[in-house]
Copies of this chain bind each other. A is one copy, B any other.
Amino acid sequence: MSELEDLRAALAALSARVEMLEDQVALGQLVASYGPAVDSGSSRRAAQLWSDDGVFDVPPIARWQGHDEIAGMVEGEGHQGLIANGVGHVLTAPRVVVDGDEARGWNYALNIRWDPTEERFWVARVSANEWTWRRETSGWRTVSRVNVNLDGTQPPRELFSHAAGAP
């Protein structure tokens, strides 16, 4: 039976490698869902990318916590005006580090808007983002997303430093 045991162990080891890949893909997919959710006004689906008490922190401008506040941001006049006017929330594929049932990630988000007067697009915001995720029964959810504008007021020396290691 030792050969069978060897096979079982090898299969378990391979399964663990597959789970690591699944986590990487799932978290990349979560990040790739944010822009389409908010640009289509899918407020509840956007909110559900967070855990029930998850935080979307945009210092020093705003901080939303929980599904109602995050959905409310999408449903608000400000955001709805952006959609009507023309906007893309363009996020890049994240650097992701998984540690059991927790994970962290870092990426960029561009907020690009249509200027109807000049009749051209302009980059309204370029931000550095740090995400903290938790594995819940329904899948990965965002515990915290911190978003800082790269306009020189908050250089991301600390926020991005943990993303910098070689994979």
Majority DSSP secondary structure for residues of A touching B = mixed
Closest Cβ of chain B: how far from A1's Cβ, in Å? 8
A61 at the interface (CB under 8 A from B): no
Partner of A26, one of B1, B10, B88, B167: B167
Q: Is A64 an interface residue (CB 8 A)?
A: no
Q: Are B90 and A32 neighbours in the complex by a CB distance under 8 Å? A: no
Q: Check if B91 sits within 8 Å of A36, measured CB to CB.
A: no
Distance, CA A91 to CA B165, complexed state (A): 16
Could you tell me the distance between the alpha carbons of A124 and B120 in the complex, rounded to whole angstroms?
7
How would residues 131 to 147 of chain A score, 1 for a CB under 8 Å from any chain B CB and 0 otherwise? 00000001111000000
The answer for the CA separation of A36 and B96 in the assembled complex, in Å, is 12
Using a CB–CB distance below 8 Å, which chain A residues touch chain B? 1, 3-4, 7-8, 10-11, 14-15, 17-18, 21-22, 24-26, 28-30, 32-33, 35-37, 39-42, 45-46, 48-49, 83-88, 90-96, 106-108, 110, 112, 114, 116, 120-128, 138-141, 149-153, 155-161, 163-167
